[in-house]
Amino acid sequence: MITRTTIGADFEGALAYGAGVRQGDSPKKQAELIGSSNLGDVSNPRGLAAEMQSVAGERSQCKNPVWHTSLNWAKGEQLSTAQKLKAAERYCELLRSQLSKKLPDEERAAYHVWEQHQVAVYEHHDKDHDHIHIYLNRVPLGGGAALPTGHNYQFNLKAIKIISEEMNLNPLPSQRQSFNDSRPPVQDTRQVVRAALVEAMADPQVQSLAQLQERLAAQGIEARLKRSKADELVGVSFRQGEAAVTGQDVGVKAAQLRAHYEPAQRQVQGQVQRSVAADLVQEQKQAREQLRQAVAAVLATATGGASFQHALTARGISWQVQKDAAEQSSMSFTQGGHTFAGTELSPAYSVEGMKEQMKVNRQAQQPQPAAQLVPVVQQPKPAAPEQRPVAAQPPGPELKPAPKPEPPKRKVPKPRH
């Protein structure tokens, strides 16, 4: 059995697909509702969607309340409807493990998703293998905290293993990954495997390929080595869970491992090891800088999600948007086997930061309204006052300066005898 989970915001579209009545779907598509919980009119998908949306509206901060999981059984494996419904109920029961680890064990054990959430289960008959679709409202009845979505890929791996063992189902071939959701797990695996390789190869205690395999196995990573008839290492691949990547995918090829660990390839014991490890670290730095410049160039002109994604694809860059338990979105970029979170490239490359930059680009590219020219009306200059000739006047009497007054004469007193 394999599974796929998507998180969304549109109950009506999701349930219309589940019921086989979505506009544009083939009329031959056969679907039936095989089970539900806490829902009313099960004959009307639109009514079910309205009921779920009403409950989700009690927690408006949950922007993506739709949890959609498909359970797919191996081709030729026949299950009864009761068995399929039992698998759906068991899957919902196991979802309690997604709850916060801060909750007491008693409170987590008493939480029943099937009883406390709205659930609709549809079975489809349009494939050559049995499969069902589980539609779950992440918001519980009466409001409250929504079911977290973080690490749902790892949760699905554990859930289907438990369900398969409990119901004695046939295991899938080891090379089978999934139907359509290989990109997110492969990108996650690339990042995890490369980080583990760089750390192990920089550790002087890991002196051989066998020790490298042991170190990676302790972290849940299987290293597969391919050798030629001459016993020369010619290929390497890695598997974590159901996702597999090659050495080229993670930027560590067989030639690098030979130079690092094969005694016949070493010229100076330890020196080559340190050199290869240093080269990997330097390569990581260069890859980060190249990817940062590429994303910066794309972001400088992108005006929306479509143009942003198209420009990334043209440069050979893949991307992934993830959400954590707090509904916070983050974006990672992959190029040439190197994966970095947006904020690793630049603190400004958060999802919100990139949206803001695209908004600025849209505003800058909008045509500016033409400036309206206001005609300048020249006011006529006021006419100069009329100049009239001034009549000649007879000359006036000549004015002489007034004589200066003479000082008074002092009388000299006569002498007394």
| pLDDT tens column, 76-104 | 888 899 999 999 999 999 988 888 766 77
In three-state secondary structure terms, 18 is helix
Q: Looking at residue 403, what is its pLDDT?
A: 66
Alpha helices in 251-378 (DSSP H): 254-261, 271-299, 305-314, 342-345, 351-365
Structure tokens at 364: 């800058």
What pLDDT, on the 0 to 100 scale, is given for residue 8? 83
Domain 2-181, architecture per CATH: 2-Layer Sandwich (3.30)
* All CATH 3.30.930 domain ranges in the chain, comma separated: 2-181
| Beta-ladder partners of 319 | 333
Q: Whose structure tokens read 């400088």?
A: 300
What is the CA angle 256-258-259, rounded to 5? 65
Query: Which tokens in the block code for residue 353?
Result: 């930061």
Instruction: Give the pLDDT of residue 86.
Output: 94
At 274 the pLDDT is 53
At residue 72, the pLDDT reads 86
Question: Which residue positions in the chain have pLDDT lower than 50?
Answer: 27-28, 173-184, 264-272
- pLDDT confidence of residue 214: 87
Assess contact for 288 and 345: CB atoms under 8 A.
Answer: yes
Q: Which residues have C-beta within 8 Å of that of residue 39, sequence separation ≥ 6?
A: 48, 51, 52, 118, 119, 120
The amino acid at 299: L
Q: How far apart are CA 188 and CA 193, in angstroms?
A: 9
d(CA 57, CA 185): 31
Q: Residue 8 forms beta bridges with which residues?
A: 66
Contact 308, 299 (CB under 8 A): yes
Residue 312: the pLDDT is 83
165 phi and psi, to 5 degrees? -70, -40
Helix, strand, coil percentages for the chain (3-state, nearest 5): 40, 15, 45
Burial of 203 (0-12, 13-18, 19+ CB in 10 A): middle
